[in-house]
Structure 1
C-alpha cells in the first residue's frame, strides 16, 4: 500500500506543477493558485509517507 500511495501523491504533485505552469503561461491567477495548492498537498502527503516509513524501521 505504501508504494501505491507514494505514486498517487507524486502524481498529484506533478498535476499541480502542470496546472501552475499553465496558469503562468496564460496569466490565470486562479489556475496558478490551484496548482500551487495541489502541489503543496501532494508534497505534504509525500512527507507523511516518509514519516510512516521511518517508524516502520
Structure 2
C-alpha cells in the first residue's frame, strides 16, 4: 500500500512541476537566445571596427 501511494504522489507531483519548468525554461531560453544574439552581434561589430581602423 505504501509503495502504491508513493507512486501516485510522484505521478501527481511530476506533471505540474514539468509544466512549470517547461514554461520557465522556454521563457528563460528565449531571453538567453536574444541576449546571446545581441552580445554576439556587438562583439562582431566591435571586432570588425577595430580591424578596419588598424588597416
TM-score (norm 1): 0.49
Question: Who wins on radius of gyration, i.e. which is larger?
Answer: 2
Unaligned runs of 5+ in 2: 1-21
Distance in 2 between residues matched to 1:46 and 1:54, nearest whole Å:
12
- Name the count of aligned residue pairs: 32
Aligned position for 1:30:
28
Unaligned runs of 5+ in 1: 1-25
Q: Which has the higher contact order (CA 8 A, sep 6+)?
A: 1
Large movers: runs of 4+ above 6 Å: none
TM-score (norm 2): 0.51
